[in-house]
Amino acid sequence: MLGGKGLMTTCLIGLLFLAAFMNSVQAQTEALQSSVKTAAQDKMTERKVRVQLKWRHQFQFAGYYAALEKGFYRDAGLDVELLEVENGVVPIDQLMGGAVDFAVADTGALIYRSVGVPIVALASIFQHSPSILMTRGAGDVTDLADLRGRRVMLSGGYMNAELVAMLQAAGLSLEDVELVPDDTSVDALVDGKTDAYNGYLTNEPFGLENRGVDFQVFAPMAYGVDFYGDTLFTTEAKITNNSDLVEDFRAATLRGWSYAVEHPEEIVDLILKKYNSQGKSRAHLMFEARQSIELILPNVVPLGYMNIERWERIAEIFTEQGRLKGPVEMRAFLHPSDDFDRFVDVLYRQRENIGAAVILVIAVLLVLHIASLRIQIRARTAELEVAKKRAEEEARTDALTGLPNRRCFFETASRDIERIKRNDGDMSVLVADIDFFKEVNDTYGHVAGDHVLRKVSEVLKRNVRAGDVAARIGGDEFAFCCPDSGASEAEALAKRLRDQMATQKIDYDGSQILVTLSLGYAQYQPGQSLDELVQNADAALYDAKRNGRNTIGSSQNKVREKAT
């Protein structure tokens, strides 16, 4: 777990990397503008450049052909000549002898650097070396350890360093195998002259497959030995005296490699037309192209990327084999040509801190997201509770008058009547109807009728006790549930409501509307249901209406009292 100090350091590193990246983008833009300007100035005076390849023409050098034929070198003001290897020619020797300006060589260049040869690595094109050991698949060698006491063909000098390291990783030394003379033809393996052959993953497997020869491959990377392949080199003097040329050549070369890996078929056709000194078939070159691109890793790391830690590990292997004569100052040996390469190198070396920072940021974002979700859930739950409560209230309230509606009246009255039954108490129900309400609608309109209903409701609410329930249960019909009230209390309430309403003048649109109420009440009798109680009050109301309106009817004694 990261402590407080480590957490702060990790976050600062993340911020510094972001700032460095933005600076890198700006630097790249400025460099591009400068490159375009330089190319335009130098177009008429191209600089001569000679490049020593490490082998004869094939897809292995596709990026150089692309840069030459697509005009990338010309755009940079360079006149480039590519030189194949001739018998006895060593690329590094050609470079240090001044015969060429740049050379393509293996990681064995470290050995030269360890004895003071001032060579500098500019770009590693192959992120993984294509060098492999091959055996016959039909033989009895199924593992590297089976090569003990067998014949093994290895390239001379430092070129076999990674294969020797692979054998050592498998528990074998050179003394455990029989070394046979190096032969560039895979026929030595096919004809049984050797049990293991040093080949290239990009080349020999194609010939064996076409000949129907069963074989197996042992790659150093599978044994933890991971060398670069085909690195571009120059000299310290060249960088010191002509740094612009070095940077321009490197940038144009990488541009050529970018084109080559994106257009392999076009470059294969170019090789067949102008660079096929080995007479390879198109199928063979396409096989080499596919294998090469997998080793270049263009979609994983920037083309030409070099990591100082990998070079240091390669130096360790050379030292273990007794090949390195002294320490190598990697910062002098490696030459990141621009801020972006330096930035990538820093990113790689700080990958653990960056990983921790990324995990931390993701964790914080996840926590914040979860907290946000919880807040949203709580807020939504509260909204739903309010909406539910509002819906329940609306379902129990008459929208026009604000009084409880029929449903609420019967629910409340049902609870009250059950309580009365248990406690042997009194309870009465009143029902009221506005007299001649239809005439109000016919005379003044339904809007006026709604206004009258609201005003009548206000009168009813003002005149009932706190424990009573006044509800609108129909168009112009109202009901009252009066718990703990006998017939006399119900009759008194009925008279009060009738008299209040008879004296109430309702103003509407310049007119005064007078309305009266007819009421009926009934007292609960033991054993009655709520429906029966309400039916009795309804019957009393109808009796009152038949007796001339503005009247009170009682179900107890059938007495009808007409208002004076």
Edge-to-edge strand list for the sheet holding 551-554: 469-472, 477-483, 427-434, 517-523, 551-554, 560-562
How far is the CA of 335 from the CAs of 98, 221, 341, 564, in angstroms? 20, 25, 9, 117
Q: What is the DSSP string of 475-500?
A: SSEEEEEEET--HHHHHHHHHHHHHH
Are 477 and 433 in contact by the 8 Å Cβ rule? The answer is yes
Could you tell me the sign of the dihedral formed by the alpha carbons of 316, 320, 321, 325, in that order? Answer: positive
SS3 at position 103:
strand
Q: Are strands 196-200 and 131-136 parallel, antiparallel or unpaired?
A: antiparallel
How far, in Å, CA of 209 to CA of 31, rounded? 47
Q: Which residue has the tokens 């590094």?
A: 92
By the 8 A CB rule, do 404 and 457 touch?
no
CA distances from 334 to 55, 308, 341 (A): 23, 8, 11
Residues 412/429, Cβ–Cβ less than 8 Å: no
Q: Which residues pair with 176 in a beta bridge?
A: none
Nearest-angstrom CA–CA distance, 360 and 362? 5
Across the beta sheet with 229-235, the strand order is 78-83, 47-52, 102-105, 229-235, 119-126
- The answer to whether the CB of 20 falls within 8 A of the CB of 346 is yes
Residues 127 and 339 sit within 8 Å (Cβ to Cβ): no
* Nearest-10 Cα torsion for 401, 405, 408, 412: 80
Q: For the chain, what is the total number of helices (H) and then of strands (E)? A: 21, 18
- For 416, the 3-state DSSP assignment is helix
Coil, strand, or helix at residue 373?
helix
Distance CA 550, CA 529 (A): 28
Closest CA to 302 of 337, 340, 355, 353: 340
Catalytic residues: 476
Task: Give long-range contacts, CB 8 A cutoff, 24+ apart: 36-42.
Answer: 38/76, 38/77, 38/244, 38/248, 39/75, 39/76, 39/77, 41/77, 42/76, 42/77
Would you say the C-alpha torsion 338, 344, 348, 354 has a positive or negative sign? positive
